[in-house]
């Protein structure tokens, strides 16, 4: 290296080389620092894939319904969907229609018997229902009440089960139907990721999604909501906690949704955070392990093979889950 630079830089008979070398050393150092900086910043933003797609209004292609490898594979699921009718309503808002809600519609939402998006404006593309409530966290309880009133008024005789989920919840609807197939929708029942505090029998996390039987919804609307001693009347409070109190006060039973191995089925976080124990020490995650109604296990024992829901799933991860759950198959292994 040195020899190469030395040859032609002897200006006016003076040996100018040392200065040039120092100059180039600085240039080189500057370049290395810049490149390092660029690498670090791209690594950090690339790591956070929640933000990567956040503003994107993108579409993802699916295999054709006639695709040989899938045709008629879902016979049992199709039959079940006739018998166990599930309405799913998604809590969303105008700024999330394109960013999040449309990806729910393109992925798991299509498997519900009825899919509704609850917003404050009527967007005919989605479509969404315009409830007359304000947007924002402080109105979530008001929105939940209005959404269930709308659903009760328009759909109570059309389906058996009513699920509320967020626009970043991912649901495996077939596994929801499998669990519900053991229950009677004429009984007052309520399913989800059960948390301990605030309500005697516990309450179901809002983000993991929760499910009411037809009778639970009837009691909520007819008996609990109109009574200020049973149900909070103003807009404030946490939507899921208030729901838990209202249902508890009209004897709707919070069901233990773990499977026969004691593994959970509804989850308030992404799979990664339930599977890998050390991630539960992340500050934003600790609440769940403190509040969970049932003791949870680490590793793959966390989660049922027939798991139903996960929360904080960004749109791009919804398509990845679609691929992993409905398409990717290990050849030679059947169940
Ligand atoms: C939304 O608006 C359209 C057109 O005005 C109307 O036909 C439709 O019923 C509305 N939908 C909802 C869910 O409010
Ligand atoms: C479902 O529950 C209702 C109300 O308790 C009861 O009348 C009905 O017989 C039950 N149906 C079945 C199939 O068990």
| Tens of pLDDT, residues 290-309 | 899 998 888 899 999 999 99
| Tens of pLDDT, residues 195-235 | 999 999 999 999 999 999 999 999 999 999 999 999 999 88
Instruction: Please give the number of the atom of ligand 1 that sits closest to the Cα of 124.
Output: 1
| Tens of pLDDT, residues 243-299 | 999 999 999 999 999 999 999 999 999 999 899 878 777 777 788 888 999 988 888
Q: Does the beta carbon of 130 sit less than 6 angstroms from any atom of ligand 1?
A: yes
Q: What is the pLDDT of residue 28?
A: 58
CA of 186 to the centre of ligand 2 (A): 6
pTM for this entry? 0.81
Output phi, psi for 85, to 5 deg: -90, 125
Residue in 114, 127, 129, 131 to alter for ligand 1 test, most ligand atoms within 8 A of Cβ: 127
**CA dist., res. 116 & res. 105, Å (int):** 9
Q: Does the beta carbon of 129 sit less than 6 angstroms from any atom of ligand 1?
A: yes
Based on the number of CB atoms within 10 Å of its own CB, is 182 exposed (0-12), middle (13-18) or buried (19 or more)?
Answer: exposed
Res. 127 pLDDT band, cuts 50 70 90: very high
Based on the number of CB atoms within 10 Å of its own CB, is 89 exposed (0-12), middle (13-18) or buried (19 or more)?
Answer: buried
CA of 255 to the centre of ligand 2 (A): 17
Using CA atoms of 219, 139, 128, 186 in order, give the dihedral in degrees to the nearest 10.
-10
CA of 210 to the centre of ligand 1 (A): 27
Bridge partners of 114, per DSSP, are 87
Q: Does the beta carbon of 181 sit less than 6 angstroms from any atom of ligand 2?
A: no
Instruction: Please give the number of the atom of ligand 1 that sits closest to the Cα of 127.
Output: 13
Q: Is 116 helix (H, G, I), strand (E, B) or coil?
A: strand
Instruction: Please give the number of the atom of ligand 2 that sits closest to the Cα of 215.
Output: 4
Q: Does the beta carbon of 132 sit less than 6 angstroms from any atom of ligand 1?
A: no
* Residue located nearest, by CA, to atom 13 of ligand 1: 129
Residue 113 has pLDDT above 50, yes or no: yes
Strands 210-213 and 161-166: antiparallel
Instruction: Please give the number of the atom of ligand 1 that sits closest to the Cα of 129.
Output: 13
CA of 213 to the centre of ligand 2 (A): 13
CA of 161 to the centre of ligand 1 (A): 24
Q: What is the pLDDT of residue 3?
A: 45
CA of 122 to the centre of ligand 1 (A): 6
CA of 214 to the centre of ligand 1 (A): 26
**CA dist., res. 309 & res. 209, Å (int):** 7
Res. 138 pLDDT band, cuts 50 70 90: confident
Short-list 61, 59, 60, 125, CA closest to 92: 125
Instruction: Please give the number of the atom of ligand 2 that sits closest to the Cα of 184.
Output: 1
Q: Are 154 and 148 in contact (CB under 8 A)?
A: no
Q: How many residues does the chain have?
A: 335
Q: Are 161 and 211 in contact (CB under 8 A)?
A: yes
* Residue located nearest, by CA, to atom 7 of ligand 2: 186
Residue 43 has pLDDT above 70, yes or no: no
Mean of the per-residue pLDDT values of the chain: 85
Strands 128-130 and 114-119: parallel
Structure tokens at 131: 């409830």
**CA dist., res. 145 & res. 246, Å (int):** 11
Residue 26 has pLDDT above 70, yes or no: no
Least-confidence region, from 86-90, 164-168, 326-330: 326-330
């Amino acid at each position: 290296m040195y020899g190469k630079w030395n040859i032609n830089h002897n200006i006016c008979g003076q040996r100018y080389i040392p200065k040039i070398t120092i100059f180039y050393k600085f240039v080189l150092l500057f370049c290395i620092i810049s490149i390092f900086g660029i690498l670090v910043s791209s690594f950090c933003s690339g790591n956070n894939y929640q933000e990567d797609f956040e503003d994107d209004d993108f579409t993802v292609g699916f295999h054709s319904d006639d695709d040989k490898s899938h045709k008629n594979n879902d016979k049992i699921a199709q039959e079940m969907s006739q018998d166990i009718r599930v309405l799913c309503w998604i809590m969303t808002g105008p700024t999330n229609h394109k960013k999040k809600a449309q990806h729910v519609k393109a992925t798991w939402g299509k498997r519900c018997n009825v899919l509704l998006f609850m917003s404050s404006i009527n967007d005919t593309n989605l479509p969404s229902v315009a409830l007359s409530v304000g947007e924002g966290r402080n109105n979530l309880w008001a929105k939940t009440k209005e959404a269930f009133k709308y659903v009760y008024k328009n759909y109570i005789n059309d389906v058996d089960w009513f699920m509320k989920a967020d626009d970043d919840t991912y649901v495996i609807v077939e596994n929801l139907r499998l669990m519900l197939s053991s229950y009677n929708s004429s009984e007052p029942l309520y399913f989800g990721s059960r948390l301990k505090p605030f309500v005697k029998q516990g309450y179901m996390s809002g983000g993991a999604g929760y499910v009411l039987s037809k009778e639970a919804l009837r009691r909520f609307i007819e008996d609990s909501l109109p009574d200020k001693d049973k149900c909070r009347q103003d807009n404030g409070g946490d939507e899921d906690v208030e729901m838990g109190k209202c249902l508890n006060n009209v004897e709707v039973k919070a069901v233990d949704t773990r499977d026969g191995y004691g593994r959970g089925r509804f989850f308030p976080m992404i799979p990664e955070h339930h599977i890998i124990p050390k991630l539960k020490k992340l500050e934003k995650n600790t609440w769940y392990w403190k509040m969970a109604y049932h003791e949870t296990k680490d590793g793959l024992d966390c989660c049922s093979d027939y798991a139903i829901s996960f929360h904080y799933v960004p749109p791009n991860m919804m398509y990845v889950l679609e691929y992993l759950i409905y398409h990717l198959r290990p050849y030679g292994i059947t169940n």
